[in-house]
Amino acid sequence: MNRTTTSPFDIKSATIQGLTMILRSVNMGVIEADLAARVANAGDLFTNAPVLINVTALTADGTADKLELTRLSNLLRRHTMRAVGIIGAAGLLLKQANALGLMEEVDVLPRPRNKPEEPPVEPASAPTSASTIAPQAAATEIPVLADLFGDAPAVIPVAPAPAAVAAQAATAASPKAAADFKTAPTMVIDRPLRSGQRVYARGGDLVVLGVVSHGAEVIADGNIHVYGPLRGRAIAGANGDFDARIFAVAMEPELISIAGTYRTTDKPLADDVRGKPAQARLDGEKMLIEPLKS
């Protein structure tokens, strides 16, 4: 059978990105109030987002069965989000999740940025026969979350960064280097971004050589560098990279987010960083915005 001409559909793998709601309380009144406040301050960051509900802490303290899961699912839907899975559930709560059609025990693995791989070091006296060397298990990445942000607009030209060009030239000249060295792509935008424009650097860093205006949005799986005023929204580490950072020569954003931890302008920036060269990074679950020191 010629599958390409007769099959009514194709099934292919896909990686999706979204949100994880980590619950520490079963008090729905408190959850509703807190969620409403967060959504009000986040613009459309949560719009149409798939959500994984993590109840690991509730299961550990014995309160998970008291969670009103149907009410929580409806609450998310009212705020234009959709519960798609549950993590850490057991017993009665797991049965409720199954009845709601939620995926269970989803593995969420934040993807680190690509780095050069170091060759394994073996002891000099170690035997090298196949019977004495255990195979190294390959890391498996489970695609579980939905892409909230979409692709970069086709009308914006993209050029590789000089560092990326140099790396490509070096690997082309040396087959061994090409085998040993890996680098994530860098997207360079060499013009200002106006309100309504959105750019996503999938799998690497984003460099903007100009202003990111109010209403514009820049997103990267890695770091974001803005060589101009950052007045719009910046979302770094979009695929879960907690080491990602946001740099700007004039930090005055509407919203910044790193690996799902976000901050809006409802809380004014400190005087030593507002409108000045600064960086944003994570320290655990806390976002730090610090001046860039010359």
- CA distances (Å), origin 124, targets 120, 128, 132, 134, 235: 12, 10, 14, 17, 46
Domain 19-104 carries which CATH code? Answer: 3.30.70.260
Instruction: Flag the least confident range among 128-132, 189-193, 202-206.
Output: 128-132
117 vs 290: CA distance, rounded Å = 31
Q: Dihedral (C-alpha) 164, 169, 170, 174: value to the nearest 10 degrees?
A: 140
Give percent of the chain with pLDDT exceeding 70.
68
Predicted TM-score (pTM) of the model is: 0.51
Check whether 266 has a pLDDT greater than 70.
Answer: yes
Query: Which residues are CB-neighbours of 218 under 8 A, at least 6 positions away?
Result: 193, 198, 199, 206, 208, 212, 224, 226, 232, 233, 234, 235
Within 10 angstroms of residue 132's Cβ, the number of other Cβ atoms is: 8
Check whether 131 has a pLDDT greater than 50.
Answer: no
Q: What does the pLDDT look like over 203-220, one tens digit per residue? A: 899 999 999 999 899 999
37 vs 149: CA distance, rounded Å = 22
Among residues 272, 273, 201, 267, the alpha carbon closest in space to that of 234 is found at 201
> Side-chain half-sphere of 189: how many Cα atoms within 13 Å?
30
* DSSP letter string, 89-149: --HHHHHHHHHTT-EES----PPPPP-PPPPPP--TT---SGGG-PPPPPP-----S--SS
Q: Is the four-CA dihedral 93, 97, 99, 105 of positive or negative sign?
A: negative
| Fold of the CATH domain 159-291 | Pectate Lyase C-like (2.160.20)
Report domain extents, the chain: 19-104, 159-291
Is residue 240 within 8 Å of residue 221, measured between CB atoms?
no
89 vs 108: CA distance, rounded Å = 15
Which amino acid is residue 173, in one-letter code?
A: A
99 vs 82: CA distance, rounded Å = 15
Mean pLDDT, all residues of the chain: 75
Residue 98 binned pLDDT confidence (cut-offs 50, 70, 90): very high
